Structure 1
Amino acid sequence: MKNIIFLSVLLVLTSCGSVVNYDYEKSTDFSNYKTYSYYDDMETGLSELDTKRLMRAIDSELKTMGLTRSDNPDFFIDIQSQQVTNRNNSTVGVGVGGGGGRGFGGVSVGIPVGQNQQTREIIIDFVDETKTGLFWQAVSESKYNSNASPEKREAVFAKLVEKVFAEYPPK
């Protein structure tokens, strides 16, 4: 019984985190990239304030990695996002059965538990316009609450960006 409770708690805790997938151009020499900037015409899919929060978190993380924001950058960053609805397929089954005499009978009903979950997919692209084009991409999916306080949103973006750049540059 203790194992079942432990596994249930573990499942809940791990399902609350963000998922990050990476892709990159294998022939890229990442040591050539020291400066960056953002595209001026980004359509992030976030509010203007959340876009600024996310960009501040990215700036902070990239600064710790030795990269500098510049007016004449080695590469550009593009950010896109969209809201994703994940269907909840969890149900509780209730069954009634009986038997006797010459036959068996039964009724089963599935009752949906919970509701569809809203997450936000954020795509961060690194683009070298002079050489290779898109050379690195991270796609993250995590819970996002647009009604959270500004402080909470800033903390969520900081944690997300830390996870996104945990594998940059690729080894």
Structure 2
Amino acid sequence: MKNLKVLFLAFLVASCGTIVTYDYEKSTDFSSYKSYNYFDDMETGLSELDTKRLKRAIDAKLKTIGLSRSDTPDFYIDIQSQQVTNRSNSSVGVGVGGGGGRGFGGVSVGIPVGQNQQTREIIIDFVDETKTGLFWQAVSESNYNANASPEKREAIFAKLVEKVFAEYPPE
């Protein structure tokens, strides 16, 4: 029974985490990129303050990787996001059935349990306008609460960025 509780807790923690997928141009020489900047006309889908928080988290992480922000960058970063509604698949079934001398009949109804879950999808693109165009992309989907405190949102973005750049540069 104790093992079942531990397994359930591990599943619960894993299901609330951030999901990240990556894609990149295989012919890209990632070692040639040393500097970056953000597109001026980005429409991130986040508030202006959350955009600044996310950019600060990205700047801090890219600095640890050895990349620096520059006015004459090797590549540009584009950030896009949108709110995603995931339908709840949980339901309770109620059925009534009966049988008589001539056959069987029944009625069943599914009652939804819980609410739809709101998540935020954030897409981070690395674009080299002079060579290959889009050469790296990360798509993340995670829980996001726009009503959380500024400190909590900053911590959420920091964790998100750590996970997004965990596999950068690709091997």
TM-score w.r.t. structure 2 length? 0.92
Paired AA for residue 32 in structure 2: N
Q: Kindly state the Cα deviation for residue 169 of structure 1 after the two structures are TM-superposed.
A: 0.3
Paired AA for residue 72 in structure 2: N
2:120 paired residue number: 120
- Give the paired residue count: 171
Q: Deviations over 1:25-59 (max 9, x none)?
A: 00000000011111111100000000000000000
Percent identical pairs in the alignment equals: 82
1:49 paired residue number: 49
Q: Kindly state the Cα deviation for residue 108 of structure 1 after the two structures are TM-superposed.
A: 2.6
* Separation in 2, partners of 1:63, 1:12: 33
* Separation in 1, partners of 2:90, 2:4: 17
1:168 paired residue number: 168
1:31 paired residue number: 31
Q: Which range is displaced more, 4-13 or 136-145?
A: 4-13
1:143 paired residue number: 143
Q: Kindly state the Cα deviation for residue 157 of structure 1 after the two structures are TM-superposed.
A: 0.3
Say if 2:134 is the partner of 1:153.
no
Structure 1 residue matching 2:61: 3-state secondary structure: helix
**Structure 2: runs of 5 or more not aligned:** none
Q: Deviations over 1:56-114 (max 9, x none)?
A: 00001101111111111111000001111111121012334455766545443211111
TM-score w.r.t. structure 1 length? 0.92
Structure 1 residue matching 2:159: 3-state secondary structure: helix
* Separation in 1, partners of 2:147, 2:7: 31
Please report the RMSD computed on the Cα atoms of aligned residues, expressed in angstroms: 1.8
